[in-house]
């Protein structure tokens, strides 16, 4: 199975859609989006 760096794409998404987020808030947003993968 092909490996993908989806985590990096999530980071890119947060940078594009939530440019104002920084530090812990930015990290928590990334992690919340990753956690949402459980529901797909």
Partner 1 sequence: MTEDVKKLYDERVNRFVTTANLNEPDRVPIVGSSGSGAIHYAGLNFADLLENYELEEKLYMAEAVQQNPYIDAFGGSGINHQMKIATALGSKTFFISPNGINVQHHETSSMKVEEYDEFIADPMKFLADKIAVRKVTGFRDGTDEEVYANLASLFDKAAEIRRGSYANKLIMETLGLPSLTGGAGSGLGGSITHPTDVFFDFIRGFKETMTDMRRRPEMVDAAIAALSPFYERNFPTKYVGPFPWMNDTHHIATFLTGPLFERYYWPFYKKSVEACHNAGIKLISVFEGRWEQHFDLLDELPKGSMIAQLEKFEQVVNFKERYAGQFAIYGGMTGLLRLNTLEDSIDRIKKTLDVAAPGGGYIFSSGGISAPGDGTPERQEAVTIWVYENAKY
Compute the least distance from the CB of residue 30 to partner 1, in Å. 7
Give me the count of residues in the chain.
40
DSSP track, 5-26: -HHHHHHHHHHHH-TT--HHHH
Q: Is-contact 12 24, C-beta < 8 A? A: no
25 binding partner 1? (CB under 8 A): no
15 binding partner 1? (CB under 8 A): no
38 binding partner 1? (CB under 8 A): yes
| Positions that interact with partner 1 (CB under 8 A) | 1-7, 9-10, 12-13, 17, 28, 30-31, 33-40
């Amino acid at each position: 199975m092909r490996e993908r760096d989806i985590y990096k794409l999530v980071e890119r998404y947060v940078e594009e859609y939530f440019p104002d987020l920084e530090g812990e808030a930015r990290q928590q947003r990334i992690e919340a989006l990753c956690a949402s993968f459980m529901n797909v």
